[in-house]
Structure 1
Amino acid sequence: MRHSPPSTSPATTLDFSAPPVELARSLLGWTVLVDGVGGRIVETEAYDMDDEASHSFRGMTRRNAAMFDAPGSTYVYRSYGLHWCFNIVCRERDHGAAVLIRALEPTHGLERMRQRRQLEDPRLLCSGPGKLAQALGITAALDRRRIDEPPFELIAPPDMDQAADIASGTRVGISKAQHLPWRFTLAKSRFLSRKV
């Protein structure tokens, strides 16, 4: 499925049916909002069903069922019983692939983010998947939603070249498939969870 962004950038699309590595790179520079709160995506990680670190590696379960939904759906899960993590499903339905949104540069609704996170420094508001979900108010209630329907909004970068300086490296906090360079960042961003 291809998503056509708002009229601010009608010529630009995201292909949610693409492999997760491709989508993870393509999402960099886009702005994601939840009820008008959010920012520019600066860090992502790819997960696919033949990847041992992926929740889908051993097949569909009750916990990971959203990962097998239609491309462009959301997959929200709790990590270590503490933090919500926000993913966008890709590939075809029933495949089991997604992109984890790891960090944002806050641009919309900073005061609401500061209230939710109880801190002031904008560099720390969304510099990690759990922080990002808390700042945007993402919980299990937003699991299995469409990323192109309210309360979500995806806005293309005004200049797609701004995402050209992309760095890749290994993913964070996993014990398997640690060698895969499936974490992607806007290399010059000050808002990453950690440098590549």
Structure 2
Amino acid sequence: MGLRLKNLTITILLPWISVCVGSVEYITGRVNETVLLPCHFDSRNSNIKELVITWQLPETNRVVHSFYEELDHPEYQAEEYKGRTQLFLSECIRGNATLQIMSLILADSGEYICFVHTDDRNDRQTHLVNLNVTEPDNNEVDSEAKSTTSLYVTLLLVTPFVLGLIICFRMKQKKKHLVMANTSKMTSCMCYNSPGMDMLWWIQNTA
């Protein structure tokens, strides 16, 4: 999902407010995978009805995810993140505003800042995360390709064999039924034409 590397203490300046961020978490993800951007806050005075969570890109102020009035608000979300982000609402009231980003692309690399407002309007908490998105390792790609190729080859080799077994089984079953049917007919004919049956018929008709 993601890899935390280390913490740094920095201060950043946004156009509308000066924010002192105690630490930066470094997260690594891979293209097409899912990553979690952590954000934890003091939830002692939090009220889900008043809770406001905003994830933004500090360099451009673009909104990555917006939550308030107990709802997500994709109408304020940057186009490139629509349908790819998610908060865990059941965890928000517990002080966890971690953001999930799915189907990562290289352009997702960069800094993300999490703003949390609780029911106290003066209580504004922030958390900064640096995300680095990388391409999958060539060795892993080659390994997956080899595994897929091996699977296809196995299916191509095994499928005709399995079909052959099924056909042979059905032919044997059909042959067995034919033999049983022919045996039954022969037994019926022998019983009908046996001397004992002729004698019984003569006794019954001459008595």
More helix by share: 2
Band the TM-score falls in, shorter-chain normalisation = under 0.3
- Higher RCO (Cα < 8 Å, 6 or more apart): 1
Q: What TM-score comes out, normalization by structure 1 length?
A: 0.21
Structure 1 or 2, whichever has the larger Rg, is 2
